[in-house]
Structure 1
Amino acid sequence: MTAPEFSRPIALDTIGDVPRTVTVEADEAERAALAARFGLASIARLAARATVSLRSGFPYAEGAVTAAVTQNCIVTGDPLPVAVEEPFALRFLPTDMASDSEVELDAAACDTMFHSGGAIDLGEAAAETLALALDPFPRGPGADAALKAAGVIGEDAYTPLNAFAALQALKKT
């Protein structure tokens, strides 16, 4: 397995019951590599600020990811600047617990990431949080006009019932 593009390990033996604040920020090379990984035009800024502590014996991080990225419109390809401010709550479990059939989550409904070795990776957690926060099918202001110009009537025009009705109309002629 290759190392993450934006890795900020926090040694497990430095995480205690008393919360501490950790801030991480991706440099230019890390942002370029993450943009390639996530299929983005660019990432101008990516940072995370989290409170890290042990909860029920496991590392836990709660905070927010902030980013400025450029996605491309899926219709026109036009660049779309996107500002991200995404909160997260993550519990880190050892990789060997990933194969356990039952991992009980508390009522806080935090997400779970797995770690191996003696550290959790707040950089990779921030990168994955960013990826999940982005619109997977971004559309710019000119998308509808471009679709119409290409002859696309509408996305809901061909539901199964409408398609069947169109076939019935053809049969009558």
Structure 2
Amino acid sequence: MAERLIDPWPSTVTLARVDRGGVDLKLAPDETVLKAIAKQLGLVSLHELKADVYLRSWMDGAEVSGVLRARVVQTCGVTSEDFETPIDARFSLRVLPADSEHAPQDEGGELGLDPDGDDPPDVLEGETIDVSGYVIEHLALELDPFPRKPGAVFVQPPEPVELSPFAALKGLKTKGDEG
């Protein structure tokens, strides 16, 4: 049976706690934390962030999955106007302790990763999972790096006129000078 609770922000969970039967969390940072996250992610503002996170035992680590919902305000790269975007995303990852025999090994710089396969598990620094850190990381992955307000259309500026120093001299030439 999973332990259900509303966790404070920032939220961390130990592997031992997950191993005792899984943990279900509801995370919702307060206004001060929302402002700090918005600044960290380069947003104009972050009006809402809620996450339901589920931690289950996996090998000698944990599987972390969840749903995050947010309302972010970004600046349009075309019109320079601020606009709000809703985000509703699912995420899933696996974590292992550093001393795990299952942790990915870096062998001569080659991890032997399959680009089409699942992501390798994250290796924890200790025995604690930074749940709120993973929520922020996955929110960042959902942000459009080139935000565009709905309906905004980029218009190509006109080609610049000839700017050589001789172009200015052509304008000074008079008809009497020709010859």
Answering whether residue 61 of structure 2 is matched by residue 58 of structure 1, we say yes
> CA RMSD of the aligned region, Å?
2.8
1:110: how far off?
5.1
Answering whether residue 157 of structure 2 is matched by residue 151 of structure 1, we say yes
Aligned positions of 1:100-111 closer than 5 A: 100-101=106-107, 102=111, 109=118
Answering whether residue 87 of structure 2 is matched by residue 84 of structure 1, we say yes
- Where does residue 164 of structure 2 map in the other structure? none
> 1:141/1:87 Cα in 2 relative to 1: closer, same or farther (>3 Å)?
closer
1:88: how far off?
0.5
Answering whether residue 132 of structure 2 is matched by residue 123 of structure 1, we say yes
- Where does residue 167 of structure 2 map in the other structure? none
Identity of aligned residues (%): 28
C-alpha distance in structure 2 between counterparts of 1:91 and 1:21, whole Å: 15
1:91: how far off?
0.7
Which residue, 138, 149, 154 being the options, matches 1:140? 149
The structure in which a higher percent of residues are helix is 1
Normalising by structure 2, we get a TM-score of 0.69
Query: Which stretch has the larger CA shift, 96-105 or 47-56?
Result: 96-105
The alignment partner of 2:40 has SS state of: helix
- In the TM superposition, structure 1's runs of 4+ consecutive aligned residues that sit over 6 Å from their partners are none
CA deviation string 1:2-35 (max 9, x = no partner): xxxx631112210126333111122211111111
> 1:60/1:103 Cα in 2 relative to 1: closer, same or farther (>3 Å)?
farther
Q: What amino acid does structure 2 have at the position aligned with 1:132?
A: L
Unaligned runs of 5+ in 2: 1-8, 160-179
Higher relative contact order (CA 8 A, sep 6+): 1
Normalising by structure 1, we get a TM-score of 0.71
Q: What amino acid does structure 1 have at the position aligned with 2:106?
A: D
C-alpha distance in structure 1 between counterparts of 2:19 and 2:31, whole Å: 32
1:108: how far off?
8.2
The 8 Å contact of residues 12 and 59 in structure 1, kept in 2 or not, is answered as: yes
CA deviation string 1:64-123 (max 9, x = no partner): 111111111012221121111110111113356576344889x98256434222310110
Q: What amino acid does structure 1 have at the position aligned with 2:133?
A: E
Answering whether residue 19 of structure 2 is matched by residue 13 of structure 1, we say no
- Where does residue 30 of structure 2 map in the other structure? 27
> 1:120/1:132 Cα in 2 relative to 1: closer, same or farther (>3 Å)?
same
Which residue, 49, 54, 58 being the options, matches 2:52? 49
> 1:121/1:42 Cα in 2 relative to 1: closer, same or farther (>3 Å)?
same
Q: Tell me which structure has the larger Cα radius of gyration.
A: 2
